[in-house]
Amino acid sequence: MSDIRKIRWQSGKRKSVPGAAVFAAAFSLISLTPAAAFATGTADWSAAKPAAAGRHGAPPATGVAWSWGWNVEGQLGDGTQTDSNRPLPVTGIDSVTAVAGGGVTGYALRRDGTVWAWGANSAGQLGDGSTTDNNVPVRVGVLDGVTAVAAGATAGYALRRDGTVWAWGANSAGQLGDGTTTDRDFPVQVGGLADVTAIAAGQNAGYALRRDGTVWAWGAGWTGQLGNGTDTDSGTPVQVAGLDDATAVAAGDGTGYALRRDGTVWAWGANGVGQLGNGTTTESNVAVQVGGLDEATAIAAGAGSAYALRRDGTVRAWGNNSEGQLGDGTTTSSTTPVQVDGLDDVNTIGAGGNTGYAVREDGTAWSWGVNWFGQLGDGTNTDSFSPVRIAIPARVTAIAGGGYSGYALGGPARRRHAEAS
């Protein structure tokens, strides 16, 4: 990565850095589970996510993976390294049931239970046994029987039908959960986990929800993001304290989130911009309740910002808002949830670095926040502080964000749009 790219530091100033530095400074979020983001460190950039969290728990639709935004490492999977401010189909894969975005890597789960990846691969995060970047999808190892995928900054995660979790890529903080700090270019099993039903990934940490409602975490712990009452890294899973009735998990950069059965949301870890949502900017290494929020049905997390979908189809957001990523028409950050403007009838949410995403019941997709590389997908590179419609020429069923890229699951392009283009 030789070209110069810009990231926004928490001071609010942009600083040009070599592309390689983006890798180190930035990272991840939401696939069948929510996902990840950046927060209180120096760089305010991306979280990676599994594809979208939804309200109804319906079986996943199968179809086409779409991508848009930044493409410096081929993370759009279209065979080029050209940015696009409009969605393009990912090349060479079909029958997709879930998508996820890492820092500069994309992931897709196919109906046959195999996982595919494309983009940057410096730490082995494509999982194909190499460290060679690829701008079209390659198969991750020999994984099969997979039911969900998630992505961290430079690591990938898969949940198998037998309830085990597998991981590959960077491992400097133990985020692969195999008891080592050795990077892996091929999937390894996360130790000591069984009966897992959902997964999520933060910058350098992994998360798992077990069938008994407990939440487990591993990897970096310096901001308390493991939620076990310490600020210590762990190369194997530890239990997040005080949670035994969780139904979903999500992760940002240095922050973890859980949705409980009663519709409340809980958070732990970094809180420099209010991303714990409890009215403070004080870190917590144990879970605290997000204030003023009930009847939540899904959660997602971005770079220092978090999102919740409520039963009434509206979306709430809290945390950093320097680029309008809370979607309330302002750039004022909030330590408690605010309503995203103009959205109702939402059934799925997702998050990128400093961008929020939502899908409505009518299959339209919406985005708000930063748009430096076209990650809003509306055909412009103009930031938006309120939701704008993503120009996907297909009905969308799931959505996710990577660092500065967006990903969606939908059908093939509708004929009338294809002809118009």
pLDDT in tens, 266-297: 999 999 999 999 999 999 999 999 999 999 99
pLDDT in tens, 349-375: 999 999 999 999 999 999 999 999 999
The candidate with the shortest Cα–Cα distance to 226, out of 268, 198, 288, is 268
Which pLDDT value is given to residue 412?
Answer: 86
More confident residue, 139 or 56: 139
**Mean model confidence pLDDT for the chain:** 87
Residue 84: pLDDT band (50, 70, 90) is very high
Q: Is the pLDDT of residue 39 over 50?
A: no
**Average pLDDT estimate for 73-78:** 98
Whether residue 400 contacts residue 50, with contact meaning beta carbons closer than 8 Å, is answered with yes
Which pLDDT value is given to residue 18?
Answer: 31
Residue 23: pLDDT band (50, 70, 90) is very low
Percent of the chain residues past pLDDT 70, beyond the cut: 84
Which domains, from first to last, does the chain contain? 4-420 (2.130.10.30)
- Residue type present at position 71: N
Residue 414: pLDDT band (50, 70, 90) is confident
Q: How far is CA 255 from CA 60, 83, 236, 323, in A?
A: 27, 29, 18, 19
**Average pLDDT estimate for 55-64:** 62
Residue 154 tokens, joined: 């430079």
More confident residue, 404 or 36: 404
Q: Please, how many CA atoms are within 13 Å of residue 41, restricted to the half-sphere of its CB?
A: 23
Dihedral angle at the C-alpha atoms of 339, 360, 75, 379, nearest 10 degrees? -90
Which pLDDT value is given to residue 413?
Answer: 81
Residue 26 tokens, joined: 């930035």
Residue 62: pLDDT band (50, 70, 90) is low
pLDDT in tens, 180-207: 999 999 999 999 999 999 999 999 999 9
Percent of the chain residues past pLDDT 90, beyond the cut: 82
